[in-house]
Amino acid sequence: MHPRQLDPAGLKRISERTVSLRDIRWLAEVDVDRAALEERWGGPETVYDDLAEWVCFAFSPVKGEAFFLQRETEHPPMPQFGLSVTRGLFSAGAAAQIVEALGIVGARLTQVNAEVAR
Binning pLDDT at 50, 70 and 90, where does residue 92 land?
very high
Buried b (16+ CB within 10 A) or exposed e, 30-55: bebeeeebeeebeebbebeeeeeebb
Residue of higher predicted confidence among 75 and 6: 75
Binning pLDDT at 50, 70 and 90, where does residue 103 land?
very high
Please state the separation of Cα 99 from the chain's center in Å. Answer: 8
- Indicate whether this model's pTM tops 0.85: yes
Residue 32 has pLDDT above 80, yes or no: yes
Q: Mean per-residue pLDDT for 84-89?
A: 95
Binning pLDDT at 50, 70 and 90, where does residue 5 land?
low
Binning pLDDT at 50, 70 and 90, where does residue 3 land?
very low
Can you tell me whether residue 111 is helix, strand or coil? strand
